[in-house]
Chains A and B, each alone.
Chain A
């Protein structure tokens, strides 16, 4: 079992709610949490069903697609489309039918009873009859000692954002999948040399992406290699690596840029302890639906999908979540907010 933050009395810590007054809290039929393709599609469908959805943009508005370049596999756009542009269009379409979008991050939830209680940025109360979780996933870091400190100073999880700062320099990409191949190929537009560090001696990437990287003169593969730490005070001045075959460590002191392409982790922290998740904290949904273990709470997109993770599949599950929420609401009706004097049972730690 993973640590889900559950208290001994059966639900997560609710102390963040202690000082927040819900007596005047806004009541919504549908709150969508997260603005990638899943969230905007859920908003679009619930808006068209006259449910007046409220969507929160979260800490990375637009999500992972905003850090990509051309999206060439979204059906209906034969010429391809830039990821950020695609997200602008999703937003425009959802808002056209009455979606209300706000900046802010849903940081805490109380799913004990309906209407569900949410806190935005730890302070703003919202009552929600239904919640659609579309928080997606974010780039994973290695967890090296100096990695976080050097983000923005040479450490990056977004080659398309940061590649141009490394004109004529030597950079390293960690990873062995399609995104590592794509990022390293992209980086050769700017960098003089791109090392691809991979902990095994073969790649997970698709054949076409591998071949594109192998054919690129500026890319050098460094096999069986793991990163020990990133070096440098105010900027990346090298990386320390270990060959996991020979056990030999060395410093690659020509590396001034360090790019991560080792996959993603789902953004499901606020929901831990409330929702059933797998061992990697992806939210579990029931069968082919978007139902979760919490009544009136639905999950879609990469927050619940470790397998397909495409813009089109995220949009597909966002649509399912909207339809599930709409049907659920019509079956279960709207729950009244508790009267101010009928306080919920306080949490006993």
Chain B
């Protein structure tokens, strides 16, 4: 499955720069390689990354490699999707979700497109 170039790989090291200090809203997908529902929603996350390119950022945190960030945000289930704006987690979706709820949450944070 082709990875979209618009999906950022987020880590414990770059999370502050890429997410907390971002000047756009950020959708963060906490996932792991062995998680079935995570695999199923991965293409949705990639589509959103392409659709919101320039208006919002989309990134993924592998919870096995980056336990610190997962713990910091109390992630105890994957997939968990957190929506950040201005350095704060604004919304949280847990579990596999269809495309629409993700899109709507991101759209709400982006506001009306210019």
A residues with CB within 8 A of B: 57-62, 65-68, 82-84, 87-88, 103-105, 121, 151-154, 156, 158, 160-162, 164-166, 234-235, 257
Contacts and interface: CB of A to CB of B under 8 A. Distances in A.
Determine which residue in A58, A105, A257 has the highest number of CB atoms from chain B within 10 A of its CB, and name it. Answer: A105
Given A58-B98, A105-B98, A121-B100, A67 B75 contact: no
Interface stretch (B4-12, B15-23, B88-96, B106-114): B88-96
B105 to A, nearest CB: 14
29 contacts: A57-B40, A59-B96, A59-B98, A61-B37, A61-B96, A62-B37, A62-B39, A66-B39, A66-B40, A68-B36, A82-B36, A84-B36, A84-B37, A84-B39, A103-B99, A104-B98, A105-B98, A152-B75, A152-B77, A152-B94, A153-B77, A154-B76, A156-B76, A156-B77, A158-B77, A161-B37, A164-B64, A165-B77, A234-B74
Nearest to B31: A161
A152 B95 contact: yes
A116 B63 CA distance: 44
Nearest to A61: B40
B2 interface: no
Contacts of A153: 74, 76-77
The number of chain B residues touching the other chain, given as a range, is 20 to 34
Nearest to B47: A103
Given A152-B80, A152-B92, A66 B100 contact: no
Nearest to A154: B76
A154 B41 CA distance: 21
A121 B77 contact: no
Given A84-B40, A257-B76, A103 B35 contact: no
Contacts of A57: 40, 98
Contact of B40 (A62, A158, A160): A62
B61 interface: no
Contacts of B27: none
Contacts of A165: 63, 70, 75-77
Nearest to B97: A59
Contacts of B56: none
Given A83-B36, A105-B100, A161 B44 contact: no
Given A57-B98, A59-B97, A151-B94, A66 B37 contact: yes
A276 B14 CA distance: 54
Question: Which of B37, B38, B74 has most chain A Cβ within 10 Å?
Answer: B37
A251 to B, nearest CB: 20
B78 interface: yes
Contact of B100 (A82, A88, A104): A104
Contact of B98 (A83, A87, A121, A166): A121
Nearest to B79: A161
Contacts of B92: 152
Contacts of B78: 161-162
A236 to B, nearest CB: 8
Given A59-B97, A59-B98, A61-B96, A161 B40 contact: no
| Max count, chain A CB within 10 A of own CB: residue among B77, B78, B97 | B77
Contacts of B80: 152
